[in-house]
A and B are shown apart, each in its own frame.
Chain A
Amino acid sequence: MSEQKPNGPTWSVVNSLLGLFAGLYLGSWILKELIYPGATDVTAYERIVSDFTEAPVVFWQAVVLLSLSAATGFFAGLSISLTQLWLNERTYSRAVREVARSKDAFISMVLHHIRTPLTGIKWVLAALGGENQEKILTPENLRALKLENERAITAVNELLEAARVSSAQTTYQVEIRPVPEVFALLDEITNAAKSLAAAKHIVLKVSLLPPPPNTYIAIDKEKLQIVFEGLLNNAIKYTPENGSVSATMSVIGHHLNFTVADTGIGIPPEQQSKIFGQFFRADNARVKEPDGFGVGLFIGKTFVERMRGTLTFTSTLGNGTTFSVELPLVGAAGERFLAGITATPVSTPQPDTAPKG
């Protein structure tokens, strides 16, 4: 937590001393300018008051007045600091409570997200050997069981990936690939997403403009697949039934462009600046799809930027969102590739780095 507790005692002492000196100054000003105007020395003061007393009245009056004004200043300063401290403490406690609440809500949602598919698995397995075995262990339920299993694994992997990305422990296998390979990758991904879209009666339009010959790009193909799948699945997830999702890929100038536009719920304007934040989910996304960690866009943006690309979006609440990925092209030998990424020519065999287990 980055919240720092204010340094109260130092602040109070400084304010009280300032108050004390201000009081002393004010007291002496009152004494000199208002009570004994024109008096320049003690003798003059004595002459003024000698009419009603023989005591050294001026001295004691000065002492009392200065003491009172100094004390008033001191306590005023102290009160200001204590009020400030109280306000700071209140703000700090509120921030601490807010962080604690967010943490509890996040843990609760993680547990829910992982427990739900595990519940399905447990309930099906519980039927083994029971009276209801035949009714529960149907081919349809077994297929659903497989999906639940995948869902649990995906949930755990998403969390692990988010943790790796946020601690900069992700390893990248950036390679120089022919651009048509990326087009083929997107083709596969959109084909796989068709059933997901069809289940919601969403029209999935795919437009792949053929790339110019001999164009190359430096990418981590596995990571790029995660980005494309994530954006496409999000578009389908947050688009109501009978909506549409369009995926396009083209080469424009020295960049490869991928956009996915949906007619979905959109992102509230006041939350758009936070959308790439880790564990952030827009309010309307939470209501529509309560399950989710809010890590997909955070991971996606990190991956794309690691490949020297950009991930941006435009969105209108209630009308839809368009996400765009732009990646720089490189020459065949990678000579135009920006510095900072270790890229390996495509002809070099690469070890299989897909996560296992």
Chain B
Amino acid sequence: MKILVIEDDTFLSSLISSELQGAGYEVLAAHDGTQGLEMAKEKPDLIMLDLVMPGMDGFETLAALKADPATASIPVVVASNLGEAEEIKRAKDAGAIDFLVKVHFTPAEIIAKIRSLLPGVH
């Protein structure tokens, strides 16, 4: 089970990656949108995508992921510290299956959420 974490904050990225690995997931870590699109070619089972990133932001990355037939079917969970109603709607309209406001969740809760979104794959 492979998770691609696209997160520009290296501290948060390393924390969530450690927790995901501890939970038995294989983790790919990208630190910006461009790197994320490249790594998405490795067909992860799920992408955890930050929104506010330098260069290509999360919305642009999501649009690019969904526009590419090779990555369009990979479920994307947005994990951002944005979280206004308009931003959530925009992300879901663009194809995100869920929107997590990072500060509201512990890593364990995020992992539980991922498990619930990918039933039968642990």
A residues lining the B interface (CB < 8 Å): 104, 107-108, 111-112, 115-116, 118-120, 122-124, 126-127, 130-132, 135-136, 141, 144, 148, 287-291
Q: Say yes or no: A123-B12 contact (C-beta < 8 A), given A132-B18, A132-B19, A132-B22.
A: yes
Q: Kindly state the separation between the CA atoms of A144 and B9 in the bound complex, as whole angstroms.
A: 11
Decide if A123 touches B81 in the complex (CB within 8 Å): no
B residues lining the A interface (CB < 8 Å): 9, 11-12, 14-16, 18-19, 22, 52-55, 57, 80-84, 86-87, 101-103, 106-108
Q: Kindly state the separation between the CA atoms of A291 and B22 in the bound complex, as whole angstroms.
A: 30
Interface of A (DSSP majority class):
helix
Decide if B54 touches A122 in the complex (CB within 8 Å): no
Q: Kindly state the separation between the CA atoms of A288 and B81 in the bound complex, as whole angstroms.
A: 18
How many cross-chain pairs have Cβ atoms below 8 Å apart between A and B? Answer: 70
Decide if B86 touches A104 in the complex (CB within 8 Å): yes
Residues of B within 8 A of A124 (CB): 15
Q: Say yes or no: A119-B82 contact (C-beta < 8 A), given A136-B15, A290-B57.
A: no
| Least CB separation from B83: chain A residue | A111
Decide if B12 touches A120 in the complex (CB within 8 Å): yes
Decide if B84 touches A104 in the complex (CB within 8 Å): yes
Decide if A287 touches B54 in the complex (CB within 8 Å): yes
Decide if B106 touches A123 in the complex (CB within 8 Å): yes
Decide if B81 touches A116 in the complex (CB within 8 Å): yes
Q: Could you list 20 A-B pairs, sorted by A, with CB under 8 Å?
A: A107-B84, A108-B87, A112-B52, A112-B81, A112-B82, A115-B101, A118-B103, A119-B102, A123-B15, A123-B19, A123-B106, A126-B106, A126-B107, A126-B108, A132-B19, A135-B18, A136-B15, A141-B14, A144-B11, A288-B55
Q: Kindly state the separation between the CA atoms of A144 and B15 in the bound complex, as whole angstroms.
A: 11
